[in-house]
Structure 1
Amino acid sequence: MSQPMLEIPVGERLASYVSGALDAWPCQTHRQLAKLHILDTLAAIVACRDLEPAVLARNYALSLSGGGDGPNAATILGTHARASIVDAAFASAMTGHGAEINDFIPSAFVQPGPAVLSAALAIAETRGASGAELLRAVMAGYELAGRMPKALGVENLRRAGVANHGLGPLFGAATAAAILLRLPADRIGDVFTFCAQQASGSWQWLLDVEHIEKAFVFAGMGARDGLHAALMVSAGFRGVRNALDHPGGWMRGAMFSGGDANRAYLVDDLGERSELPLTAFKRYPVGGPTQPAVEALLDLSPAIAGQAVQSVFIEMPGRWQAFRDAAMPALNLRYLAAIILIDGRLDFVSAQSLTRMAQEEAVKDLMAKIEIAHDPAQEAAPGSPRTESARVRITLEDGREFSRFVPHVLGFPSHPMDAADVESKAFNLMVEHLGPERAQAVIAAVRGIETLPDCKPLIELIAR
């Protein structure tokens, strides 16, 4: 019989897990998954390097601390530029989520890769960590990024207006950094205390237009604040070390009492069961919930090429209004449907194009013919894993109808990509920027990451 919520201690178990991560050796299946997520994140950094969120973050980091070659200077990933370790990790993470292409945990509403890997590589570079150590740290970072929002309660967070997307990566980045800093078990509680004091993020990211605030909330903020927490403790900062268990601590607050809070989830089978199989890859460069409709439209587009469209009707589960009305192109299903039907394809640049969405008359005319609606039948049963599906019906002006139901997209946890799928996606994202030889070299380096004596060659491979 499970213990009442308030009697489940988690702090010591988490501290033991984090402090012992470099001596653990997770199963091969989970190691392989972690390598694929590292590759996917590196590819996202390469592809997004020149997008505005990345450029702004890079220039900001360089204005604060750029050019240093001291022991605490790190590379801004995707470039040869260097800044202080925290500034570099911040800019790297902003780059990784510069567009809708990186991984996500749908059950936790977090996108862990950019924040966790950026913080981990910044420490690995400055402290000379090996590839095997980096891999273990990243794996543990994914655990906390995915587990913490579920422990607090996904619906509790939503009702409170706190974005899981900011909170999860914060704890994930701090965990990865603490591991590579080799903090002992009796200091891990301090790391989580300083994470608790910084835990934030608002769902107003849904109102963002240019993907800048979203990149900050989903990636840059978590990398920066999580790394700060670990570095502060490494420098001797101390706080409330049992903040996760103390009756007056952060995790016991009214916001996280009752509802769907599940403290035990933080430590259930920790070190055995992994969040990695629950982490999805994005097959298309758009928001996760829009992917099934995008796939349906891409499947239908050859049959209606050159035909006059009378209407498009898309039904989906979940927060359908957000994806009908999103101001951000890569989240706006009406815009994405329009450009797929016009172009007959979906490319990375058009998926992010505010200009096309706001100014192209053909796009605006077609968007007016597209409606998005909620389909309760597509919702998962209470207590079941979140689903992402879509039904698309296109009616032509001559009266013909075409329809397609997509119950899932390859890459969602229920239907995962295999290594060949992920490597193909990564190659396609990187080849334009790095060339085929370097793109293949990145893939090979990540495949054999356990053999790397240090991580600098991997960082150099993606720099330009």
Structure 2
Amino acid sequence: MNSPAPKDITATLSAYVAGALTSQPPPAHREMARLHLLDTLAAMVACRDLEPAVLARTYAISLSGGCGAATLLATRQRAGLVDAAFASAMTGHAAEINDFIPSAFVQPGPAVVSVALAVAETRGASGAALLRAVMAGYELAGRVPKALGLGNLRRAGIANHGIGPLFGSAAAAAALLRLSPEQIDDVWTFCAQQAGGSWQWLLDVEHIEKAFVFAGMGARDGLHAALMVEGGFRGVRQALDHPAGWLRSGAFAGGDSDLAYLTDALGERSELPLTAYKRYPVGGPTQPAVEALLSLLPRIGGAPVEAVRIEMPGRWEAFRDAAMPALNLRYLTAIILIDGHLDFVSAQSLARMAGDGAVRALMERVEIAHDPAQEAAPGEPRTESARVTVRLEGGRRESAYTPHVLGFPSHPMAAADVEAKALELMAPGLGEGRARQVIAAVETIEELAEARDLIELIAR
């Protein structure tokens, strides 16, 4: 890292975003973008009635008086443009089921897709334009945190999860608003002024603050930046190149910053192959352990469990002690073993984690440990794996190792896998027939004259 900073970062990024709607990305990248759009819409449908989503909608409607230009996604309610995008993004990340970029520690879909659809609805954009704006949004969401340095951000107490969606949302909005490169220069400076978010989200219990930091905040602030500039706001010229500007500040000087990453092969290499899907409704690093446990159920066969040991790389303590159910591996282990499966509702249930006596008792017998052997070598991509050993009554042990989960960048989901997941998430709320209509519409997104047609398909 610490490659020499390239010249004209501001102008390069601005030209890329300004040209996004007329670009011709490779078919493989457009297909990936299509699938991530579908995955995000499915998350919104599945999460619409969870508390973070309900609170965000109530708040957005209170600001807009129940009327406005844009739809709150997965509903037929309306609010002002920014308020609607904010509430939709909170809905998309109201639970742990949306996509993520593990190499950047960001979850781009809820914010980027919400902003893109809100602007597309109000400006009459086509499906092809929507798709390209989403692609530009994912590009900035993934590149900015890695350019600043993941270690630098962590040491500064700034959450990648807030920074990436902010710039990604701004890029998607700026593209659809058809701002000029010179105007987009100013978008970046207003993004820099709003860049924030704290790792305090790890202490969140109810997924409300987390949904705000990971999705709602970035959607709101990124869209604000683009709309302010459209309205004539101006700021520091060449903000990302100025030696006294935000990008060159002490927090990001040295360490693991890599400013060249911002523009390296921009428009050729994509962040989309580095974007993962969550196969299960739980936090990304807990997925391998969940899959290993599920694979062990037939071998356990309902036998009494004495103890469980889970070994994993990374920040294992966070997932041992998490106050949030979908991130707490001891809780997830207990409900899988007790229920014989994992369902969306139980994975998010704070009430069950706190009040189910049988679950609490089994959680006490689950040990989470760090396994250095599972860590990636220096300079290698982040790994997510787990080894689970279950000790049964009488001393018998059953063990499973999951080196990866289908959906991780090294082992991506095929289109059929993503569509099956989307159907599973959407059918309970929309019915199977309409859920299949959503899948079909996204499959031919580039032929859609009005991107707003997608909004009606997921509304209820």
TM-score, normalisation: structure 1: 0.98
Choose which of 235, 257, 276 in structure 2 pairs with 1:261.
Answer: 257
- Shift of residue 10, structure 1, vs aligned partner: 0.9
- Shift of residue 7, structure 1, vs aligned partner: 5.0
The 5 A counterparts of 1:137-286 are 137-286=133-282
8 Å CA contact 1:58, 1:76 repeated in 2:
yes
Greater Cα shift, 60-69 or 346-355? 60-69
The 5 A counterparts of 1:323-362 are 323-362=319-358
> In structure 2, what residue type is equivalent to 1:433?
G
> In structure 1, what residue type is equivalent to 2:209?
E
8 Å CA contact 2:207, 2:324 repeated in 1:
yes
8 Å CA contact 2:142, 2:164 repeated in 1:
yes
CA deviations over 1:276-312 (Å, ceiling 9, x no partner)? 0000000000000000000000000122132111110
- 1:377 corresponds to which residue? 373
CA distance in 2, matches of 1:432, 1:348: 12
- 2:20 corresponds to which residue? 21
8 Å CA contact 2:2, 2:259 repeated in 1:
no
8 Å CA contact 2:5, 2:258 repeated in 1:
no
CA distance in 1, matches of 2:75, 2:21: 28
- 1:40 corresponds to which residue? 39
- 2:125 corresponds to which residue? 129
CA distance in 2, matches of 1:13, 1:174: 15
- 1:305 corresponds to which residue? 301
- 1:31 corresponds to which residue? 30
1:445 aligned onto 2:441: yes
CA distance in 1, matches of 2:447, 2:237: 36
8 Å CA contact 1:187, 1:241 repeated in 2:
no
- 1:90 corresponds to which residue? 86
CA distance in 1, matches of 2:2, 2:45: 47
CA distance in 1, matches of 2:387, 2:253: 38
**Residue 85 of structure 2: SS of its match in structure 1?**
helix
1:363 aligned onto 2:390: no
- 2:63 corresponds to which residue? 64
Structure 1 alignment gaps of length 5 or more:
none
- Shift of residue 25, structure 1, vs aligned partner: 1.1
**Residue 372 of structure 1: SS of its match in structure 2?**
strand
- Shift of residue 242, structure 1, vs aligned partner: 1.1
**Residue 246 of structure 1: SS of its match in structure 2?**
coil
The count of aligned residue pairs is: 460
8 Å CA contact 1:90, 1:220 repeated in 2:
yes
User: What is the aligned-residue RMSD (CA, Å)?
Assistant: 1.0
**Residue 130 of structure 2: SS of its match in structure 1?**
helix
8 Å CA contact 1:18, 1:175 repeated in 2:
yes
CA distance in 1, matches of 2:181, 2:8: 15
The 5 A counterparts of 1:399-414 are 399-414=395-410
CA distance in 2, matches of 1:404, 1:254: 45
**Residue 197 of structure 2: SS of its match in structure 1?**
coil
8 Å CA contact 2:81, 2:118 repeated in 1:
yes
- 1:74 corresponds to which residue? 70
> In structure 1, what residue type is equivalent to 2:338?
I
> In structure 2, what residue type is equivalent to 1:395?
R
> In structure 1, what residue type is equivalent to 2:276?
A
CA deviations over 1:192-211 (Å, ceiling 9, x no partner)? 00000000000010000000
> In structure 1, what residue type is equivalent to 2:45?
V
- 2:109 corresponds to which residue? 113
CA distance in 1, matches of 2:453, 2:7: 43
CA distance in 2, matches of 1:61, 1:253: 34
Structure 2 alignment gaps of length 5 or more:
none
